[in-house]
Amino acid sequence: MQAKTSDGTKPESAHSIHTGKRLGHIEPRERVGSQTARKYEYQYERTALAALEILLDGKKHISVYCDWHDDYVIETGMPPTQYIFHQVKGRKSSQGPWTFREFFGVPLREESEKTKKPAVVSKKAIVPLMLLHYGNFGDSCAGLAFVTNAGLDPSLDAFLSSVGTSKDETALPDLAKSAFDHLARAYAAADSADVSSVGELFRWLRGIAVFTDRGQIEGSDAALLEIGDVIVNYSEIDLTLRQSKQIAREMVGLVRVKVAHSTTVVPASDEQLQREKGIVVDDVLSVLSLSAQAYAALKVGAGSDIVKTLSRLQRFCKAKGLDEYLVPICNFKSRWDMWRTIERHNLQSADYVMLEARAHEILKANLTMPQVIENAKDIAKQFKGSGLTPLEPEHVLGLMFSLAAQDELSVVVAING
């Protein structure tokens, strides 16, 4: 924290003005590059899992940046996007849980009386360096996160819980208030966090999410199994243990490639930084051998479980020799999802049951693709007045392939008529 001016006010600094700077406009403190020690492999594994979350429905993750300003940074939200900075620390079980001193850089003090001098903040502490992201990026910093395989000392856990449940620093319980005051005084003297007020420090601490007991540091096999399980769950691909571990290695390898890139020149545009240091949805889909174009087509609709749906449709198309139709089929599926969302309150339940039954009949029949299209036109005419928005043949085709994705029916459809 900064010193006050002679009139008792605090001078403005470049960091206290929240300008919302972009991630590629500030040079990182250091560029370590790809390392091979087990603690670095642990970081890459947690980054790989974070990258897979890009595919989760409801997530607004745009990109995961590897070893740029922090171990990994998640870009999230709608433009102007924001960043969540993640510090990843592996720890041997013999070292025990993280202590208050290790986390904040000062000893825990629960006595209300002030010490004669502020405590000296350790340069090896976790939080002071994390808080620099708020100062550097202002409104672009959406939060901070600490990820570890270990746990927290009970006193540290209790303090963080008190901070998280108190509306401001004055509402802290007595013991937590004493600890916070001691901490704030130390940070003010060191100017390490560069916060402009005690209230701002409290808000920043509240913005730290802590994820404990994540993965293992002793070996990579468990981590590969964990990543492999996520991959199988996302895509429902029937993989052997060996295959799932291999795809997991490819995800970790993708992270390692991004970490190793060391020639990014600052300032860098968002697009350049994504190419050089970021992992985006297309990168993850490539590792999973799923179509990026088809994924984009499905995402336009209002459906859920996009990755599972894509995996099913892609598998369905491959089995039926319809690979070239995958993207159009996904477009039809999206158009159906949007029509159904708009008309769900207007469509009579009996009409919907009949419409779905007709679509099932077409799916089960031994029809060529042109015949399927002709039947879709007839069904659209039959149910044209079912909703306020006209039902088009494309909507009916979308319904058909939506049912195919749900049930993975043994549908016989030939390419050539």
Query: Mind listing the pLDDT tens digit for each residue in 304-336?
Result: 688 888 988 998 888 888 899 999 999 999 999
Q: What pLDDT is recorded for position 191?
A: 65
Q: Is pLDDT above 90 for 348?
A: no
Q: Is pLDDT above 80 for 97?
A: yes
Q: For the chain, what percent of residues have pLDDT higher than 90?
A: 65
Q: What pLDDT is recorded for position 382?
A: 92
Radius of gyration of the chain (CA): 27
Instruction: Quote the CA–CA distance of 377 and 8 in Å, as a whole number.
Output: 77
Q: Which residues contact 349 (CB under 8 A, 6 or more apart)?
A: none
Q: Which residues contact 371 (CB under 8 A, 6 or more apart)?
A: 417
Q: What pLDDT is recorded for position 305?
A: 81
Q: Is pLDDT above 50 for 414?
A: no
Cα angle for residues 219, 223, 226 (degrees, 5° grid) = 150
Q: Which residue has the higher pLDDT, 213 or 342?
A: 213
Query: How many CB atoms lie under 10 A from the CB of residue 150?
Result: 18
Q: What pLDDT is recorded for position 235?
A: 72
Q: What sign does the dihedral 95-100-102-103 (CA atoms) show? A: positive
Q: What pLDDT is recorded for position 7?
A: 37
Tell me the three state secondary structure of residue 64. strand
Q: What are phi and psi of 63, to 5 degrees?
A: -155, 155
At 365, is the pLDDT very low, low, confident or very high (cuts 50, 70, 90)? Answer: confident
Tell me: the pLDDT tens digits for 133-162? 998 999 999 999 999 999 999 999 999 999
Q: What pLDDT is recorded for position 386?
A: 82
At 220, is the pLDDT very low, low, confident or very high (cuts 50, 70, 90)? Answer: confident
> Comparing 29-33, 135-139, 155-159, 196-200, which segment has the lowest mean pLDDT?
29-33
At 364, is the pLDDT very low, low, confident or very high (cuts 50, 70, 90)? Answer: confident
Q: What pLDDT is recorded for position 1?
A: 47
At 194, is the pLDDT very low, low, confident or very high (cuts 50, 70, 90)? Answer: low
Q: Is pLDDT above 80 for 169?
A: yes
Q: How much is the pTM?
A: 0.84
Q: Which helix (H) or strand (E) holds 142?
A: strand 141-148
